[in-house]
Amino acid sequence: MAGTLAEKVWDAHLVRRGTDGSPDLLYIDLHLVHEVTSPQAFEGLRLAGRPVRRPDLTIATEDHNTPTLDIDLPIADLTSRTQIDTLRNNAREFGVRIHSLGDADQGIVHQVGPQLGLTMPGLTVVCGDSHTSTHGAFGALAFGIGTSEVEHVLATQTLPLAPFKTMAINVDGALPPGATSKDIILAIIAKIGTGGGQGYVLEYRGEAIRTLSMEARMTVCNMSIEAGARAGMIAPDDTTFEYLKGRPHAPEGADWDAAVEYWRTLRSDDDAVFDTEVTLHASDLEPFVTWGTNPGQGLPISATVPVPAEIADESERVAAERAIEYMGLTPGQPLREVPVDTVFMGSCTNGRIEDLRSIAKVVQGKQKADSVRVLVVPASARVRLQAEAEGLDVIFKEFGAEWRNAGCSMCLGMNPDQLAPGERAASTSNRNFEGRQGKGGRTHLVSPLVAAATAIRGTLSSVSDLDLPDDVDLTSFDGTPLAPLDPGVLVQV
Amino acid sequence: MEKFTTHTGVGVPLRRSNVDTDQIIPAVYLKRVTRTGFEDALFAAWRSDPAFVLNQDAYTSGSVLVAGPDFGTGSSREHAVWALKDYGFRVVLASRFADIFRGNSGKQGLVAGIVAQEDIELLWKILENDPGTEVTVDLAARTASAQDVTVSFQIDDYTRWRLMEGLDDIGLTLQHADEITAFEATRASWRPLTLPAKTLPKVEIEAARPAR
C-alpha cells in the first residue's frame, strides 16, 4: 500500500500495534535530554527503582538555563545552578552522556543532535521540548514530549502514541531575494493558524523546500509546533546525506551504504494520499514579521498593523485587539515604522552557522543603530567556534553587537537574557507569546536577514531597505564550510 | 494516579483563545526540580491584574476551567498541567487543545475535555451571569453540567479508561517488555548509539564577558 514518509517511519518503529482503541507502542531511536524537563522524570525513576533502559540512545546537554556570559564562573542564579547540577548528577547516576557548559558540544539540544551526526533520516527522535520537530528536517519523525513521557522513554525506550493525520504542505517556485526559510514557515503558520496543524504530521514538499540547505530546512521544521502540528518532516535527499557524511556519529563504510540505500526509500509514494494538502507559492513571499502575540499573527513587512474593527470573526477580532494593546501598536501603523529596542539573533530556529553568516554579510562594515542593543547567541559552542574561525565574531563586535556563549538565551528568557517590561524586540526565535522573552516584553518574530536590517535601521526593516551593493548574494553562503571532519581525529569520551 | 469518575466544582470562565503554556506558567518558574508547588506560578502574569477572573472571590476556588480555543499551545512544559492541578483544577474544557498539552493532562489526571465552541459560549454565559456556579463533570458519561444545561465533551477512549482506572502508563508498557526486547534485536546497525561517545577533539571555549 502506498504510504507517506511519516507513515513509513512510524511503521518501522512499531513494537506493537494497539488493539481496542489503545495506542500503538513505538520504539524511540534517540532521546535528547535537557535540564528543565528532566529532573522530575529522573526522580520518578529513582522512586520506582527503575534504570534508564538505553543510556546508549540518550544524550543530555545544558541549554535553557545556562548563562551566555561568564560561563566559567559559578552560575549566579541559584535555582538555575541547582537545576543544572541536578541534570549533571542524574546523568552521572544513570549513566547518561552529557555535554556540559564549557564543552564544545554544549548548546541547544536541537543543534547538538544534528552536529554530532546523531540525528538521521528514518529515526524516531523525542525530547522534552516542543521544538524537537526541528529534527524532522532530516526525514526523522521527531516530536516534543512532556515530563511524564520523558520518564516513560527513559524507562522503556518506547512511547504509546495515538495515530496522526498527514498534511502535505507544498511550497512551489523559488523565493525572491531577501526572503528566507523563516519567511516560508511564518507564512505557513499565518495561513493555517496556530491550531491548523493539530493532530497532523506535516510534510514540507515542493521546489522551494528541495532547494533549501539542511539548516534552512531545520528552521522550517522547527516551527511546525507553532502551527500546532505534532511533527514536521522533509524527505531526505542528497542535501541531507552530504550534511551527515563524516559527522562524528554518522554511519561508516558498509553501514553508510546500507543506510543511504534505506534513506532513499524514505519519501512519500507518488500515489500516497494525505489527509489534507496546502499549497504556497514561494515567489509570492516577502519577508514576514509578526505583529501580535502568537506566531500566526504575522504579515509581510510591507503591510500595516491590522485594524481589529475590520476583522469579521469575533474570536479573532478580540484576540487581535488584545494583542495590539499588549504590543503597544496602533491599528493601521506601517510595520516598517515600528522601532525596536533589542535585536536577538539566535535560538534553535535561527542560531546556526548559516544564519550567522547571512547576518554577517548584511552588517559587515556597518554600525548598529544607536538606540538598539544587539545580542548574537550561537546555537552551540561548536557553532560559536566555527563562527570565530570564519571571523564572524569580529564583524559582529565591530557592528556593535554582543557576541555571547551558546544556549537558548533570550528565546525564552530563563537565564538573565531577558526583555524589560515594555521593551520591544525583533527576534529570530520562534515564539512571540506575552512575556515569553521577559515579563511585559514585546516580541516580533523575524528572519535573520530582517533582524540584521532592523539592527541597522532601528525599525523593522528588510534588506531591501538597505543600500547594499547589487551583487551581494544573500541566499548563498560562501563562508568556509564546517571544518571537514576526519574520523581519524574523533575521540571517544 | 488518582482515579477520576465525577467531579463537581466552581467553574471558571476564561474568555481567551490561544492560551499558550507560557501564559499558564512563565519560563522563570520552570527552574524547580520538584513536581509540586507550582500553584503560585499559574497564570503568573495575569494574577497581578485585579480584574483577572481568578482574582474575583467567586472564582478563586475554581476547579473546572472553561477556556477559549487552542488552549495549551506552545512549549511542551508539563509544568503547565502541574500548575493547574496544584492550584486545584481537575478539569479544563475547551473547543481545541494543543496536542502535547492534552497528552500531558492525560498523564497527570487532569481531564482535558473537548467541547463544541457554542457549548463553551453557553457555559461562559452561565458562569459569568452567576459567578460561583458549580460544574459537574461526569467522565463516564462524558458530560459537563451547570444549572440546567448539560453539554457533552470528547476525550479519547484510552485516556478516559486510564483516568477512570488511575493507571500508570509505564507499568502498562512494561507488561510488553519482551516485545520491546524482541524489537531491539532487529535494530539495523547503522542506527546511531550515543555511547561510546564520539566527538571532535576538546577545544577551549572562551567565556563571553559583559559589555562595559
What mean pLDDT value characterizes chain B?
A: 96
pLDDT tens string A391-435:
999 999 999 999 999 999 999 999 999 999 999 999 999 999 999
In a domain, B141, yes or no: yes
Residues A258 and A132 in one domain: yes
A35's grid cell: 535540564
Q: Reply yes or no on whether the pLDDT at A187 is more than 80.
A: yes
Residue A19: the pLDDT is: 86
Q: Which of B20, B25, B159 is the mutation pick for testing A, counting most A CBs within 10 A?
A: B20
- Tell if the CB–CB gap between B35 and A485 is shorter than 8 Å: no
Measuring CA to CA, which residue among B166, B14, B156, B185 is closest to residue B84?
B14
CA B191 to chain centre: 34
Share of chain B above pLDDT 70, in %: 100
In a domain, B1, yes or no: no
Number of domains in chain B: 1
Cβ–Cβ contact B169 with A under 8 A: yes
- Tell if the CB–CB gap between A225 and B170 is shorter than 8 Å: no
- Host domain of residue A267: 5-279
Residues A242 and A142 in one domain: yes
Residues A394 and A274 in one domain: no
Q: Reply yes or no on whether the pLDDT at A490 is more than 80.
A: no
At A315, the pLDDT band (50, 70, 90 cuts) reads confident
Share of chain B above pLDDT 90, in %: 94
Residues A275 and A338 in one domain: no
Q: Reply yes or no on whether the pLDDT at B92 is more than 90.
A: yes
Q: List the CATH number of the domain containing B68.
A: 3.20.19.10
Residue A475: the pLDDT is: 54
In a domain, A285, yes or no: no
In a domain, A138, yes or no: yes
At A471, the pLDDT band (50, 70, 90 cuts) reads low
At B38, the pLDDT band (50, 70, 90 cuts) reads very high
- Host domain of residue B124: 6-170
Residues A353 and A265 in one domain: no
In a domain, A18, yes or no: yes
Sheet holding B91-94, edge to edge: B111-114, B91-94, B64-67, B6-14, B134-138, B143-146, B149-152
Residue A486: the pLDDT is: 40
At A477, the pLDDT band (50, 70, 90 cuts) reads very low
Sheet holding A24-27, edge to edge: A14-16, A24-27, A158-161
Number of domains in chain A: 2
pLDDT tens string A39-75:
999 999 999 999 999 999 999 999 999 999 999 999 9
Residue A473: the pLDDT is: 65
Q: What is the ipTM of this complex?
A: 0.94
More confident residue, B89 or A468: B89
- Alpha carbon of A137 to those of A202, A216, A220, B47, B192: distances in Å? 11, 9, 8, 39, 17
Of B16, B194, B207, the CB nearest to A71: B207
Q: List the CATH number of the domain containing A152.
A: 3.30.499.10
In a domain, A307, yes or no: no
Of A255, A293, A402, the CB nearest to B189: A255
CA A351 to chain centre: 8
